[in-house]
Structure 1
Amino acid sequence: MANQETSTRRSIITMLRTEGPLSAGDLAERIGITEMAIRRHIATLERDHLIYPTTIRQPMGRPAKVYQLTEEADDLFPKNYHALMLDLLDDLVRVDGEDKIGQLFAQREERLVQQYEALLAGKSPEEKVAAIADLQNSKGYLARYEAKDDGSFEIIEYNCPIAQVSKHYPQTCSCETNVFRRVLGMDVKRSECLAEGGKSCVFKVSRLEQAAE
């Protein structure tokens, strides 16, 4: 039963994507279930912020209530961004050479450092590490941090949205490590990497005096 309900909701989302706004009656007719049943699915999709109602004027009669997809629903459809990014980077190498890739990531590093430093200003070391983890988490890295007994920290990322790019261009990982090191003002070493086959990306963060010992 659960699989059937999931399939019905997927059908609703697909129809709204391919045909545009549709009423509950339109959806019920196309899927072949009662309008009462379709409204239960609509209520669930609205609750999950995947569809929303709107009204459209008709040549005759009362305005019709129809449903359309939210921006959140766009994430349900396949994306191939990494392939586009790899193509662009490969083209850049062919046109301007490998050195241009280094310049590109150096510029990205500077931009992120400026952005992060403004957000971390006035924070304690642990608050900075926590803020970095939150920033990464907001970008889809499934990140968290741990404070260790010796005063060091670990930032753990369980997902890498750009792993496919990182496998071909490890400069992405080096850029991330350098950004962390600069904005935290601490020693940062990457001990595990998803792009290199690890189960997560792990960054060991220690105060400079600890790293020197």
Structure 2
Amino acid sequence: MFFKVLRDIAKPQWFDIINCLKRSTGLSVAELSESLGMSYMGIKQHCVELHKRGYLDTWRRPKAVGRPEKAYRLTSKAEPLFPQMGNDFTEILLKTVEKTYGAASGEKLLFGFFQELAQSYLAKIKGDSLADRATHFAKIREIEGYVSTCEIDNDGKIRIVEYHSPYQGIIEQYPMINNMEDQMIGKVLSANVTRAEERASGLVKFTFKLN
């Protein structure tokens, strides 16, 4: 929601570029131009300005043939534009609970949160097959700001790919969140979940393999 509001009051092209890059591990100007339906020079000018402001990083990406091409990816400065759980209120709440009720109480609070989240998803998810449920789950997560999609390959293998996690601000203090989230997804979809992470500059990609 915060991202959508900002898009309405700032340059919409910048936010379209940021949103597109958020769903990738980096794109060239040509790829951005094709994806967004904007001119090459227009995209290039916007990317240069976003790079100057610290929101984009560049690197030379190898090509199968020819010289490496310049590609853009997000930096960590763009992270606050997307939904966050790790704000001051959340951290203060968890620390206060731990001081009042003991060191394990913060973890118990998070466990309860993911239990409630699972029940919320279960009430919304529709579909008889794992593929249907996973697709619906990804659509809900996309609306919630996880930048989520469901991918099904030719062999029928299913995975959910997400390019944002609102828990990143508190994950260092509470690393058990990843396991809790995996268990929550498994419960909602009635599947075994295997998580993989990919990080580069300000980009993060979470892949949840389901079976």
Would the aligned equivalents of 2:87 and 2:169 in 1 still touch at CA under 8 Å?
yes
* Alignment partners' CA distance in 1, 2:186 and 2:165: 19
Gaps of 5+ in 2: 1-8, 11-79
> Structure 2: how far apart are the matches of 1:99 and 1:193?
30
Q: 1:111 aligns with which of 107, 116, 119?
A: 116
Equivalent in the alignment of 2:145: 140
Give the 3-state SS of the residue equivalent to 1:146 in structure 2.
Answer: strand
**Residue matched to 1:181:** 186
| Structure-to-structure mapping, 1:69-88, within 5 angstroms | 82-88=87-93
Does the 8 A contact of 2:146 with 2:166 survive in 1?
A: yes
Which residue number in structure 2 is paired with residue 131 of structure 1? 136
- TM-score, structure 1 length as denominator? 0.53
2:97 alignment partner AA: L
- What is the correspondence of 1:197-212 to structure 2 with a 5 Å cutoff? 199-206=204-211
Percent of residue pairs identical? 25
Contact preservation (8 Å) 2:94, 2:106: yes
Q: Which residue of 1 aligns with 2:125?
A: 120
Counterpart check, 1:97 vs 2:102:
yes
Question: Quick one: higher RCO (CA 8 Å, sep 6+), 1 or 2?
Answer: 2
CA contact (8 A) 1:82 1:162 kept: no
Q: State the SS of the aligned residue for 1:105.
A: helix
1:154 aligns with 2:159: yes
Give the TM-score taking structure 2 as reference length: 0.54
CA contact (8 A) 2:85 2:166 kept: no
CA distance 1:80–1:110, change in 2 (3 Å): closer
Aligned length: 130
Task: List gaps (5 residues or longer) in structure 1.
Answer: 1-8, 11-74, 207-213
Inter-partner Cα distance in structure 1 for 2:203 and 2:191: 24
CA distance in 2, matches of 1:81, 1:113: 20
Whole-Å separation in 2 of the counterparts to 1:121 and 1:157: 20
8 A contact 2:107–2:174 mirrored in 1? no
* Rg larger for: 1
Per-residue deviation, 1:185: 0.9
Q: CA RMSD in A?
A: 2.8
Deviations 1:135-177 (A, max 9, x none): 1111111111111233221111111223102232123322221
Q: Which residue among 177, 186, 189 is the counterpart of 1:172?
A: 177
Distance 1:157 1:191, change over 3 A: same
